Structure 1
């Protein structure tokens, strides 16, 4: 699968901060979409989890807003699979009414752009085939808080990411069952089932994303996450999952999957989630946030450590490629040591925990990590400056300063 076209090196969301407080219609909704000048407002902080995610483990989370909840860096530790109760939450629109999960098998998705298009229920999909895939789920803006120009959107550090196991039917199998792709199609387009406020052009607000047709080969329609029915917060009853691609392309509450000749004209595609210089608006000719780039960060220790032997943990992933090597530096990148990949290898789309055993004397250490994928792509030192604070995989910003007493 080809990598996304990128600026200098790496690869790709519409992450308008007002979107997370979108009102159902009216001036608030229009402003949230950038259709009129935004009036700066103070962001309300949350003390407790919203009802739709009340089942999560709050001490593992950072509550940015109702639709934007980050995993604490230290909550991952050496985990291979991120527990659902710890996984971050990122919604471009408020989640639909919880009643859509009352009878998840009855949920319908329209399959179009094939020779025999039709609507299929989740129950019918479950009878077609089934597979499980481990994949990193990551928001395009993960790492935005490190950008000095103050990129708008949720100020994620490293916690808008997790590694989960999806279970569902391979999309390629569904398409083959329906006669294969129609002639001339070049993109895979998924449409979400969120409610569109009245009075607005659906294209201005709908979650509808297009990715290159090659993604069809690995995509699946998932109804389970981490061996449990897919909950509302993470896209249940049914989610389009595209392993190795940024989270926005993994469309929640998917109600339409179409093989199309052109990319969708929805605003989230035409100008949202585009890579551009600081101060430049989004447009369809700019690179889109598709495949993820190689990335890693330290998860333990974070602030202090004891004198003597220590274990330094972290996670690394390569998007659509296997991680080949992880190096750790204790002096901010002046020298490097090879870390050991630990835990089972769950495939090219999953992350690999790593560990470095080392002796530490009293003092301060700037600990950073650098991953390299199987094609030789390594994390750069610096971030790629861009307007929306996307695709940050620079190792320097992602480091931690640890004091050994």
Structure 2
């Protein structure tokens, strides 16, 4: 348990310190004034600064204790991860004029968001999670933001069912194998667009659940989270949920953009990325403890956390107070909002004074159980090992 205990102490420091101290605890130098002084960037100035760790201008992490155990993550507390600078704030002044081009269908067309709304509306609760959530738990210090557990949240997306739009355009081209979304960020001149373009492809089967989301938690989608409209692919890691989407294409092959071909690939440490490696597509079963994180009094203690099934519905959660030697079934306390959403859980147990390593372990409807450990990979993606996500408690 030494590895898990060491990393969990690090997580505790990150989640309980001030924003600037949290950055220092992860060994990050910060990139830009916002990261250095702990202030929120302008596009996210409306968020709760006490709930967030400011890693950089483009990476804001929800503190573990701020996650708590709510069924829905408030927008003010939700993490932010941007690959490129956001469009101007004015892009959301009149969302209905935003245009999206549709290709790889029988009748290609470009439509405004206002026109797309005529094809219907649906709401889907779903976890949004960065591929690197849990990167801080790897020993090899993978490059990138050292997320612990706070690059994830559960939100309600509202928008246009993409499959309905494709059907209205005559259906997908016969050779289509992938759903490809292209972001609308401004690209600097003089650089090969494919090296920085945010364009992601996922298997075309994802079309059945995908939507063009223009609201989050019942409010207009803000710039910080991809407004005025983003592609949402429930059950898939965040990078596939393309922000500021300008183009939807049903394509025979994956995008040629670097972010698709070589980035976001699971590969051994020290190995370069290439298209033959597994892509960061569907999420996996995962859970973690959110309370208590400080020193509870002995006696009855309520242990809480959140759990998700990944691309499958969550089935059950167990909690251990002895580092995984024994397990007890936890109660799923939040409503069942569907297979893509997370659920809070709780276990009431009696703890005597002493030191405890508290972990959670989730299982989904497909029978996939959260593993104890997760093999390292070059970029530190996809960590769902319960050992590293555990917390240490001193009960007084």
Q: TM-score, normalised by structure 1?
A: 0.89
Answer yes or no: is 1:333 the counterpart of 2:320. no
- Contact map agreement 1:46 1:64 (CA 8 A) in 2: no
Pairs aligned (count): 365
Residue 188 of structure 1 is matched in structure 2 by: 179
Listed as ranges, the matches of 1:99-248 within 5 Å are 99-248=90-239
- Contact map agreement 1:191 1:256 (CA 8 A) in 2: yes
Q: 1:94 aligns with which of 72, 81, 85?
A: 85
Residue 370 of structure 2 is matched in structure 1 by: 379
What is the CA-CA distance between 1:321 and the residue it aligns to?
Answer: 0.8
Per-residue CA deviation, residues 330-386 of structure 1 (Å, 9 max, x unaligned), is: 000000000000111000000010000001110011000000001110011112210
Listed as ranges, the matches of 1:251-400 within 5 Å are 251-400=242-391
What is the CA-CA distance between 1:126 and the residue it aligns to?
Answer: 1.2
What is the CA-CA distance between 1:48 and the residue it aligns to?
Answer: 1.0
- Contact map agreement 2:38 2:53 (CA 8 A) in 1: no
CA–CA distance in structure 2, aligned partners of residues 42 and 306 of structure 1: 37
The structure where helix makes up a greater share of residues is: 2
CA–CA distance in structure 1, aligned partners of residues 82 and 290 of structure 2: 25
Any gaps of 5 or more consecutive residues in structure 1?
Answer: 1-40
What is the CA-CA distance between 1:302 and the residue it aligns to?
Answer: 1.0
What is the CA-CA distance between 1:64 and the residue it aligns to?
Answer: 0.3
Task: Compute the RMSD of aligned alpha carbons.
Answer: 0.9
What is the CA-CA distance between 1:43 and the residue it aligns to?
Answer: 2.5
Listed as ranges, the matches of 1:29-108 within 5 Å are 42-44=29-31, 45-108=36-99
CA–CA distance in structure 1, aligned partners of residues 57 and 284 of structure 2: 28
Secondary structure, aligned partner of 1:366: strand
Per-residue CA deviation, residues 113-150 of structure 1 (Å, 9 max, x unaligned), is: 00011011110111110000000000000000011101
CA–CA distance in structure 2, aligned partners of residues 77 and 210 of structure 1: 33
What is the CA-CA distance between 1:312 and the residue it aligns to?
Answer: 0.4
- Contact map agreement 1:46 1:66 (CA 8 A) in 2: no
CA–CA distance in structure 1, aligned partners of residues 267 and 69 of structure 2: 35
Q: TM-score, normalised by structure 2?
A: 0.91
